[in-house]
A and B are shown apart, each in its own frame.
Chain A
């Protein structure tokens, strides 16, 4: 099944870069979004603690 799905004939040179580009786009969006959320959450939390102490 996997072999069948992955064999795309002579157009592989166009099909896999297209899938690769999409994967890179998604990976960038996921990593950037999570990193941003994490960074600002930490910053907000530490400032909050700082305020309380």
Chain B
């Protein structure tokens, strides 16, 4: 599939249909999942705040997925020197940053009623999402500060790979750090098995978020392909 899509013309033909279809499917799944979720009974421990879970947890999932996509695209671009892979890497970074931002904001709004604090350093997952956010920011800052596009692309790829290798270690270190300070940690959400009333909507919105992310990513890659075409045409016109 990757080899077939590596051809830009074929990618454009494919994504022209794939992006809207994925987008509509994703919106439908999110809508249905939220409908089920909002009608679910209040949790005996978390009360109604459990309804934030259906939008918070999928955002956190997708933000991890987005960094994996960033790393994967950077790897393909670095090893196979493929322009489309670089366009994909460039396109995914802002999406990842926004999804991470959504996860952080909803996490804080969940934390305040549940733990009595906007931010709890005792929750390892929240902290690793924050570091992930900073990684996305660093990637975009590096890319934006280099004027030469080819050089910026290569430097950003290297950074994305360094970050990709680091990410599991960061996650591990934050979790390990969290167990050290267990006395201070306020909660262990999700430690127990989730009841089906909550699990079904969560999986639905999770799938919907992922499809919506896919649709946005494809659309952004398309925009990036056009941008490059326009830039190269403009350059050719200027030289002619």
Contacts and interface: CB of A to CB of B under 8 A. Distances in A.
Q: Do chains A and B touch in the complex (CB under 8 A)?
A: yes
Contact of A17 (B101, B109, B222, B236): B109
Contacts of A12: 48
Given A18-B110, A40-B226, A41-B226, 4 more contacts: A17-B109, A28-B98, A30-B216, A51-B233
Interface of B: 35, 38-39, 42, 47-49, 51-52, 55-56, 59, 94-95, 98-99, 101-102, 105-106, 109-110, 112-113, 212, 216, 219-220, 222-224, 226-227, 229-230, 233-234, 236-237
B106 A18 contact: yes
Given A5-B39, A15-B51, A18-B105, A33 B227 contact: no
A21 B237 contact: no
A6 B52 contact: no
A50 B229 CA distance: 14
A9 B47 contact: yes
Given A33-B223, A51-B237, A25 B109 contact: no
Contact of A18 (B35, B56, B101, B233): B56
A4 B226 contact: no
Contacts of B35: 5
Interface of A: 1, 4-6, 8-12, 14-15, 17-19, 21-22, 25-26, 28-30, 32-34, 36-37, 39-41, 43-44, 47-48, 50-51
Contact of B102 (A25, A36, A37): A25
30 contacts: A5-B35, A5-B38, A5-B39, A8-B38, A8-B48, A8-B51, A12-B48, A14-B49, A14-B52, A15-B48, A15-B49, A15-B52, A17-B109, A18-B106, A19-B55, A21-B109, A29-B94, A29-B216, A30-B216, A34-B219, A36-B220, A37-B219, A37-B220, A39-B223, A40-B223, A40-B227, A40-B229, A43-B227, A47-B237, A51-B236
Contacts of A36: 220, 223, 227
Secondary structure type dominating chain A contacts: helix
Contacts of B212: 26
A1 B38 CA distance: 10
B230 A43 contact: yes
A18 B47 contact: no
A19 B95 CA distance: 18
B169 to A, nearest CB: 28
A18 B109 contact: yes
Contacts of A22: 55, 59, 102, 105-106
Contacts of A48: 233
A14 B109 contact: yes
B60 to A, nearest CB: 12
Contacts of B219: 33-34, 37
